[in-house]
Chains A and B, each alone.
Chain A
Amino acid sequence: MTDMAVPSRRHRLHAWLVDEEVTSGRQARAQQWYRGFRSLTSSPVAVLGLLIVAALILAALFAPWLATHDPYRQDLTLTLLRPSAEHWMGTDELGRDVWSRLVYGARTTLYITILVTVIVGPIGFLIGAVAGYAGGWVDVILMRVTDILLAFPSLVLALAFSASLGPGIGNAVLAIALTIWPPVARLARAETLTVRNSDYVAAARLQGASMGRIIRRHILPICLPSIIVRLTLNMASVILTAAGLGFLGLGAQPPIAEWGAMAASGREYLIDAWWLTTFPGLAILTVSMAFNLLGDGLRDVLDPRNG
């Protein structure tokens, strides 16, 4: 009897999610999410992206259980060992297990990506929305600043910033964030301009809503889908830039496991120990590709106009 109840509850949930007679705002929102999720998962490549990102998150969360060795323990009797049953991806020049370092490296990658996104999303949106809504001089000044930063190749700018801030993971996050907010601001401004003069914004203004309230309640929901898509696609380039900084020695400092730095340290032993560079590079490629796939899939669902 009890195992009959489980499917019927699932059926009820499904029925509630697709019921055309919506009875509450909560149900409408849930249905919207459900439809979005269904159309996202109808694309196999987007699902692949989603799965890889999920795997990255799981690897970061459960790193201590997935790692077969201590990623920081050096053993100079075990340096540069080939991949084997004991060391799945071999060992590095200090005798550390490459697989374990790779798993812990997922934490570094995720940390940088999330932190940059959390910084860049709100700041980029706010600058763009204020510029678009306020117009006039505010717009001119904010957009000039945006354009100047936008004209710069992002890695070179991040290099310059992290050179002046000093090497380290926190500074790398800051440097990447400084270079990556302009496209978000541009997007938010463009979206804001499309609704700035619409009737419902005018109505809110006539009721005496402040700029902050209008931006938060009426402009943010319009901008959100395209900004989420942009940020997801950005994550791919954040990962590549972070890896590039790590490769040049400006990102996470040793002994922290970071994929770019791991690939860089393998450079000296490239000919004799291919596994040192190959695996971290593949990890960067896979994760960055996953965010690209996921971003493309999300765009088809959330923001079909820009597809």
Chain B
Amino acid sequence: MTATLSRAGPVRRAWLPVLRKLGTSLAVISTTLLGLLVITFVVGRMVPADPVLAIVGDQADQAAYDRVYEELGLDQPLPVQFARYLGDVLRLDFGVSHITKNPVALDLARVFPATLELATAALIIGTLLGVPLGVLAAVHRGRWIDHIARVVGLLGYSTPVFWFGMMAILIFYARLDWVPAGGRVELYYEGIVEGPTGFLVLDAILAGEWEVMRSALMHMLMPALILGYATTAYISRMSRSFMLEQLHQEYILTAQAKGASRHAVIWKHAFGNMRVQLLTVIALAYCGLLDGTVLVETVFGWPGLGQYLTTALFFADMNAVLGAVLLIGLISIGVNLLCDIVYRMLDPRTR
């Protein structure tokens, strides 16, 4: 009886801080989103190209020009324009792309799965290679595996990813002819599989189209490996330093003293304690991959968000550029916030 009472007390009182924390989090989220929109709005306003001319063309008379100028709301004061922009974004209206003539939101929905597929493949590669490499490097500090991890990390941090892609094309496509040069799938397989997930490899498996699956996998191999390498570098460096940090803790000594096996000390005790940090790093690596995909997609002609963005940049299609940048920003901020929340939930020290 007394036990339940004393337990109920703190629980009830514990609600207030939780609510307050929730309030702060909401404030943080909304200001961050607002900040993101301010950035894209300002970027859109600073563009040297005249948005009116882009619509009416340079043959239009002054009356037509003025009409479009007013229709775009450019005669309004900036705060009004920003409010209007805010309303448009909330309705998912990013304007129309000048190149594809489609609403930008539709275009983004079409190209995004390809990027997600590539980034996910790279993340899987990076995690599967990076975590063991980092952990082993920390455990065998100063030995050959540590040196390998150092070189992998150093090269991963220093290699221009677009150049890496071109070198891979030069060697594995032009010289050895092991893999296709670019694109997502052979031309004649295109459009066969229109699957539920948008991940071509998965969709092909679900549809039982093994030839398409093989082709898609071969096309993904090089870009995914190159992005995966950069991710491996990042994840292995972070895992190494997390592991070293854990190995210096005194509970490791305790575990060793009570006779736990080396394997158990490393993978159960130490690794168990770095999992939360590692999760954050992997999530941040996902954001970093959005950066890498822009260049890698351009090199490999991968029809995703990155290629969409660079093509739009090339033709000064600002609606498409801003839409893509906004989407990437939203994903990054979303992942960052998610990390924060997961970290708070899993790591008792932050409570």
The residues of A with any CB-CB pair to B shorter than 8 Å are 144-145, 147-149, 151-157, 159-161, 163-166, 236, 240, 243-244, 247-250, 260, 263-264, 266-267, 270-271, 274, 277-278, 280-281, 284-285, 288-289, 292-293
Contact = CB atoms under 8 A, between A and B. Distances in A.
Contacts of B291: 153-156
Contacts of A289: 154-155, 157-158
A245 to B, nearest CB: 10
Nearest to B36: A148
B329 interface: yes
A278 B165 CA distance: 11
B174 interface: yes
Given A164-B47, A244-B160, A292-B157, A159 B333 contact: no
A270 B170 CA distance: 7
Interface of B: 28, 31-32, 35-36, 39-40, 42-44, 46-48, 154-155, 157-164, 166-167, 169-170, 174, 287-288, 290-291, 294-295, 298-299, 309-310, 313-314, 316, 318, 321-322, 325, 328-329, 332-333, 336
Given A153-B332, A163-B313, A144 B35 contact: yes
B332 A152 contact: yes
- Of listed B28, B47, B162, B295, residue having the most chain A CB within 10 A: B162
Given A263-B162, A278-B167, A156 B157 contact: no
5 contacts: A163-B318, A243-B163, A244-B295, A247-B295, A270-B170
A75 B142 CA distance: 53
Contact of A271 (B28, B32, B40, B170): B170
B160 A248 contact: no
B32 A281 contact: no
A87 to B, nearest CB: 20
Nearest to A166: B48
A303 to B, nearest CB: 15
A147 B28 CA distance: 10
Contact of A163 (B174, B298, B321, B332): B321
Nearest to B157: A292
Contacts of A270: 166, 169-170, 174
A288 B155 CA distance: 9
B315 to A, nearest CB: 11
Nearest to A260: B160
Which one of A144, A151, A161 has the greatest number of beta carbons of chain B within 10 Å?
A: A151
Given A151-B336, A160-B321, A267-B166, A292 B160 contact: no
Contacts of B314: 249
A288 B32 contact: no
A244 B293 CA distance: 12
Contacts of A161: 43
Contacts of A277: 163, 166-167, 170
Nearest to A289: B158
B43 A160 contact: yes
B94 to A, nearest CB: 14
Contacts of A293: 154
Given A145-B35, A163-B321, A270-B174, A285 B328 contact: no
Contacts of A145: 35
A132 to B, nearest CB: 19
Nearest to B153: A292
Contacts of A243: 160, 162-163
Contact of B159 (A144, A160, A285): A285
A159 B309 contact: yes
Contacts of A266: 166
Contact of B170 (A240, A250, A274): A274
A147 B163 contact: no
Contacts of B288: 153
A280 to B, nearest CB: 8
Nearest to B43: A164
